[in-house]
Chain A
Amino acid sequence: MNREQTFKCHKICSGNAEGKTLISEDDICFYLADPKNGKIIEKNHALKGKSVAGRILIFPSGKGSSVVQGDGLYMLKKCETAPRAMIIQHPDTVLVTGAIIMKIPLVDGVEKRFYSEVENGDFVRVDADQGLITLIKKED
């Protein structure tokens, strides 16, 4: 049996995506991800060695200068190792612009209880246009 829960969110970049979650407590600079496999290579990063490829990426905020962050997302998208959607807390100009250009759905302002429910590897459906996130938990 699966248990489905829905949460409201705020659309920034439109689109739909679904997949497994990857949660980062740290802000992310995509320039410090290896485009070949999507793995984060930044020293001391919460996701060091983990791949963002094809994931629904949950993190607080983007970081890094406009040039490097933009190029980082571009290279991931080109190598098909970009995340499928991004769920953030604090938007910044560079990340928002990058997400629009690379057509990656981006939402913020998710209901607080989402963060206490969601775990790494959970299956999530993001519908940015409807402002809805569906969390599907497998139950034994």
Chain B
Amino acid sequence: MLEGKFGEGVAEAMRIQVALGEAFNAERMVEVSRTHVAFGVMESDVWFVDMLLKGGASCRVPPTSNPIYDEKYLSKIGQRAVKADSLLLQSAHNAYKKIGINLTYNCTPYLEANVPRFGEITAYSESSATVYVNSVCGAKTNRESANSALAAAITGRVPLYGLLLDKNRKGETLVSVEATLRDDFDYHLLGYSASKKIGFRMPVFTGIPSRPSPEELTSLGAQLNTGGAVSMFHMVGVTPEAPDLETAFGGRSPAETLTVTDADLQKLHQSISRKDGKIDFAMFGCPHYSLNQVRNVARLLEGKRIRKNVELWVLTSVHTRELARRMGYLGIIERAGGHIMADTCPDMPCWYRRYDGKVGITDSPKAAYYTVRRGIDYIVKRMPECIEAALKGGC
């Protein structure tokens, strides 16, 4: 592949893999059976994929893809498209399709479209996906960039290093959770709060009260890799590589022990949220909401009406949106004045254009973290409180 026998595009993808192997002293390459590429609509993303296409590359292991945004939906409700945005979006769409990326446009592929089995070697590049795949599925992936994950999809190979090796998958820091965890919002706060304290060490969580749901584990993982750079965690009695404390730590004792209390979560919550007040919109689905989460929103909105001049968005995968339609949740949410939008991430140009200088409310610290740089300010609260605020126009 490196010598160009399969074309210049494959050779370039292989050069990336070889350089990563050099950087991390990998002994050899191994085959991957699943990939996920977190491309957005940056000019550099499209340029890179086009370059590989010109070199004749295509994906041997078709990846799923991260959300971008559904311009058609926005134009249907009257948002005029910016021409430069549209052109870039169209060229991204075409390039990704042509190289063989499955256009799932969803950031939780590990829940529905691309679910790895235990021990499988993979290359996932979305920050929340990397954590979930390693920790909850027990499959193996390094913290890939979108470009390196695409190189893996094209070559079908990755260098063997890091989290692909069992010896590097052992816990280092014991995180004793004393905080009360009621719903996925508390897991968001736990992940964000813990990641600040953990640094680069691999955490082992104990004291988790009940069997956490997939949504709670998704929230935890997303925040661990937003507030910090944690690519894997263990949860004793919950995640597959942590049946007990000893196994989680590989027989060693913890390098460090941390405690997370209710006070920690409250303090963090205050630090990431704008003060209560009037809102212009409510945003849910970072990471993308599951059908269960959509149902919970629909229940709270049934027979009610969102305040005039407030918009409400639930971001999901195209699968979830279709199921929500079939189950009647879409109708309930739309009758209340809200939207369910597929394929879309809150950190996209369409939102900066719509909400520059405005105030939103969200249940996701991750959404608030990434968009604050772009002139959107968020109040961060539990989902039912966000719904309440959308009905009243503020909190």
Q: Which range holds the interface residue count of chain A?
A: 20 to 34
The B contact surface, by secondary structure, is helix
Q: A66, B38: Cβ atoms under 8 Å? A: yes
Q: Which residue of A lies closest to B44 (CB)?
A: A74
Number of A-B contacts (CB under 8 A): 70
Q: Is B19 an interface residue (CB 8 A)?
A: yes
User: Which 3 residue pairs are nearest across A and B when measured between Cβ atoms?
Assistant: A66-B145, A74-B44, A91-B23
Q: Is A100 an interface residue (CB 8 A)?
A: yes
Q: Is B24 an interface residue (CB 8 A)?
A: yes
Partner of B22, one of A10, A69, A93: A10
The A contact surface, by secondary structure, is helix
Complex CA–CA separation, A100 to B16 (angstroms): 6
Partner of B44, one of A12, A75, A106, A108: A75
Distance in Å: Cβ of B353 to nearest Cβ of chain A: 19
Residues of A near any B CB (own CB < 8 A) = 10-13, 65-67, 69-71, 74-75, 91, 93-94, 96-101, 106, 108
Q: A11, B22: Cβ atoms under 8 Å? A: yes
Residues of B near any A CB (own CB < 8 A) = 12, 15-16, 19-20, 22-24, 38, 40, 42-45, 47-48, 125, 127, 142-148, 151
Distance in Å: Cβ of B185 to nearest Cβ of chain A: 23
Question: Could you say which residues of chain B place their CB within 8 Å of the CB of A106?
Answer: 19
Complex CA–CA separation, A93 to B15 (angstroms): 13
Q: A93, B44: Cβ atoms under 8 Å? A: no
| Most chain A CB atoms below 10 A, which of B23, B45, B47, B146 | B23
With contacts A67-B42, A70-B146, A71-B42 taken as known, whether A100 is within 8 angstroms of B19 at the C-beta atoms is yes
Complex CA–CA separation, A34 to B325 (angstroms): 46
Q: A94, B145: Cβ atoms under 8 Å? A: yes
Question: Could you say which residues of chain B place their CB within 8 Å of the CB of A91?
Answer: 23-24
Question: Could you say which residues of chain B place their CB within 8 Å of the CB of A10?
Answer: 22
